[in-house]
Chains A and B, each alone.
Chain A
Amino acid sequence: MTTTTHLEALEAEAAHIMRETAGEFDRPVLLFSGGKDSIVMLHVAAKAFAPAPVPFPLLHVDTGHNFPEVIEFRDRVTAGLRLEVASVQDYIDRGALPDVPERNGLQTTPLLDAIEAGGHDAVFGGGRRDEEKARAKERVFSLRDEFGGWDPRRQRPELWNLYNGRHNPGEHVRVFPLSNWTELDVWQYIAAEDIALPSIYYAHERAVFDRRGMWLCPGAWGGHGERLVRRTVRYRTVGDMSCTGAVESAARTPGEVIEEIAASRITERGATRADDRLAEAAMEDRKREGYF
């Protein structure tokens, strides 16, 4: 009777990490992309501080190439919450960032500026260690230097559930409450808690083009003059439209998605992220520069 399921244990651990952060830091902020991991993070946060409101604001780094369904979803679920938006498009418009077609790598500067401007000393990210092998190496409390950089060789030992959040002025800590969750855990939790997601996570018809073996939808990053085909697809991750691919899928409910990924032989990033396919150490390099 006094047992705890695998999902309950993960949820309790995530809540513990969030409460530690709220207790130890002055100005935490939660990175909210409108993707499933950040939605789950927000859901756990709401439960961890209930019946009081979530005691920190949200921050969205808007690349300007977001799926409209995701922005619409973001605005709906964050109504009544404090949401800060860092806009990559603003940087491009004033010439502070180059207007390159793939914008994922452009997020770092607006992110670091927003962290500094908000005086944020802790930044929650939805990163999971099962996503990618540089992430598999990162601590739950990950100290970043003054420039937001991650130095994998200087990580603090992190023992038991004792998270050391001490940092010098100007430094901040990235906090990953979902470190120990897998993609399957996230979906099982979404099903168990009946959490709403942007519609593009479920199967729908869409005109797409083939880019290095991935289905992308057309936009400033390509697809014009290329052969467009209609496919029944869904998204396993939701990032910048320029580099997030869709997978062919008929899964229309969380239950069907769970069946699909349990049988899948390919990781979510391998299936859907052009940015990680570029190089063996792409994620490690971006993290060193201050990326999520």
Chain B
Amino acid sequence: MSTLLRLATAGSVDDGKSTLVGRLLHDSKSVMSDQLEKIASPSDLALLTDGLRAEREQGITIDVAYRYFATPRRRFVLADTPGHVQYTRNMVTGASTAELVVLVVDARRGVTEQTRRHAAVAGLLRVPSLVLAVNKMDLVGWSEEVFAAIADDLDYPGEVTAIPISALTGDNVVTPSEHMDWYAGPTVLEFLETAETGEDLTALPARLPVQYVIKTRGRRAYAGQLTGGILHVGERVVVQPGGRTTTVAGIDVLGEPVTMAWAPQSIAVRLADDLDVSRGALISPAATAPGTTRELRATVCHLHEKALTVGEKVLVKHTTRTVHAVVEHIGTGGPLGVNDIGDVVVRTAADLAVDDYAESRITGACLLIDPGDGATRSAGMISVG
């Protein structure tokens, strides 16, 4: 089992995400006493993550906060995300690297449109596991019927575990509830400590996007982080774009020579032949290399106030490669506004070697960037075939 779990919160504003995070940190004894001084009552727990002046003044979460905590069983990197529709892009930021999402619902309101939107985004980002935390059970008389109705009301493409909780009182967050003896499942923390994420990067085909060329005494080594798979010295590899094949002559893991390396190690490889390889190239085993394309198809989350329109010029950032492109087609026909999700086709000025996002959350992902001001406009999940 992995020693590190990356997770993100999600759900409508005021359903209790930040309070839940504060409760998790507090009850797992991950909050230091100097931070604790600021928490006068449980209703202040959200202040542990709402760290910006504007957030404290307005009592809402505006941007993702990353918190780190550990139990004897696991280490956690937690992204507490905002619930407001206008800050969905920040929720997307937090969820993009998460292996698990805790979707918080207010038991009185049930699953709202915003809850569904977040579940859809997490599903689209292929977060493998989702905890549906039905919160504020104290306000619905700890009712099993209310919980069951909400637990039944959500569709998710991955694994779903529903847990009835009260972030305010702490029931079923770290400590089992004394008010809900009808519930026999794990607390939120117990579940997080044991959750299988099913993400084994080394089982994927090997991919090394070249970040930087290290030149010494006429020798060139291609530096990058393996996004998947295992790479061996002596292996036949192909360099894309271009498609020339060669052999791996040597591998260093941050300066140490090795005979094999695996994801997510940062490595540098030397190749047997003197090919033209620069930043943006992709090195993969010849047998399992991805295809290349200039017609990129992707489902995008549009993240910017300026709408995305057909005919518009953009930059596509895919791994370490950035290429010019034009938006050729948008599924709905019309422009994509902020927080809209849609299928697009972009025509790129040069070949991109891509995987399907379902295969890899790294080599299947891309950004659309504004060539004018450099803003990140959309996040794209690539479809192949």
Interface of A with B (CB < 8 Å)?
Answer: 2, 4-6, 8-9, 11-13, 15-16, 19-20, 22-23, 44, 46-52, 129-130, 132-134, 136-137, 152-153, 155-162, 164, 166-168, 179-180, 182, 264-267, 270-271, 280-281, 284-285
Which of B32, B67, B77, B375 is the one whose CB lies under 8 Å from A267? B32
> Are the C-beta atoms of A267 and B34 separated by less than 8 Å?
yes
Q: CA of A269 to CA of B211 in the docked complex: distance in angstroms?
A: 35
Which of B34, B65, B89, B320 is the one whose CB lies under 8 Å from A20? B320
Which of A52, A136, A266, A281 is the one whose CB lies under 8 Å from B214? A52
Chain B nearest CB, measured from A274 CB (Å)? 13
B contact face: mostly helix, strand, loop, or mixed: mixed
B362 contacts partner chain A, Cβ-Cβ < 8 Å: yes
Q: CA of A155 to CA of B89 in the docked complex: distance in angstroms?
A: 10
Contact with A along B255-295 (1 / 0, CB 8 A): 10000001011101000000000010000000000000000
Which of A16, A44, A180 is most buried by chain B, counting CB atoms within 10 A of its CB?
A16
Chain A nearest CB, measured from B165 CB (Å)? 23
Q: CA of A271 to CA of B33 in the docked complex: distance in angstroms?
A: 10
A20 — which chain B residues lie within 8 A by C-beta? 211, 320
Chain B nearest CB, measured from A21 CB (Å)? 9
Question: Given known contacts A265-B32, A270-B34, is B266 in contact with A157 (CB within 8 Å)?
Answer: no
> Are the C-beta atoms of B252 and A50 separated by less than 8 Å?
yes
Chain B nearest CB, measured from A102 CB (Å)? 19
> Are the C-beta atoms of A267 and B35 separated by less than 8 Å?
yes
B223 — which chain A residues lie within 8 A by C-beta? 19, 48-49
> Are the C-beta atoms of B367 and A12 separated by less than 8 Å?
no
Chain A nearest CB, measured from B60 CB (Å)? 12
Given A137-B65, A161-B225, 14 new contacts (CB under 8 A): A4-B265, A6-B3, A9-B4, A9-B264, A12-B225, A12-B266, A132-B51, A137-B64, A153-B62, A157-B376, A265-B33, A266-B34, A271-B34, A284-B52
A156 — which chain B residues lie within 8 A by C-beta? 375-376
A-B contact list, 13 entries, CB within 8 Å:
A4-B264, A13-B264, A23-B211, A50-B214, A129-B68, A137-B51, A137-B52, A137-B63, A156-B375, A160-B361, A265-B32, A267-B35, A280-B56
B332 contacts partner chain A, Cβ-Cβ < 8 Å: no
B177 contacts partner chain A, Cβ-Cβ < 8 Å: no
Q: CA of A180 to CA of B66 in the docked complex: distance in angstroms?
A: 8
B230 — which chain A residues lie within 8 A by C-beta? 2
> Are the C-beta atoms of A162 and B215 separated by less than 8 Å?
no
Which of B3, B53, B367 is the one whose CB lies under 8 Å from A162? B367
> Are the C-beta atoms of B366 and A162 separated by less than 8 Å?
yes
A contact face: mostly helix, strand, loop, or mixed: loop
Chain A nearest CB, measured from B247 CB (Å)? 21
Chain A nearest CB, measured from B316 CB (Å)? 11
Q: CA of A13 to CA of B211 in the docked complex: distance in angstroms?
A: 13
Chain B minimum-CB-distance residue to A182: B68
A11 — which chain B residues lie within 8 A by C-beta? 254, 266
Query: Which 7 A-B pairs give the minimum distances between C-beta atoms?
Result: A166-B374, A133-B51, A270-B34, A50-B255, A15-B266, A47-B254, A159-B96
> Are the C-beta atoms of B254 and A50 separated by less than 8 Å?
yes
> Are the C-beta atoms of B215 and A19 separated by less than 8 Å?
no
Question: Given known contacts A6-B75, A129-B66, A265-B33, is B3 in contact with A136 (CB within 8 Å)?
Answer: no
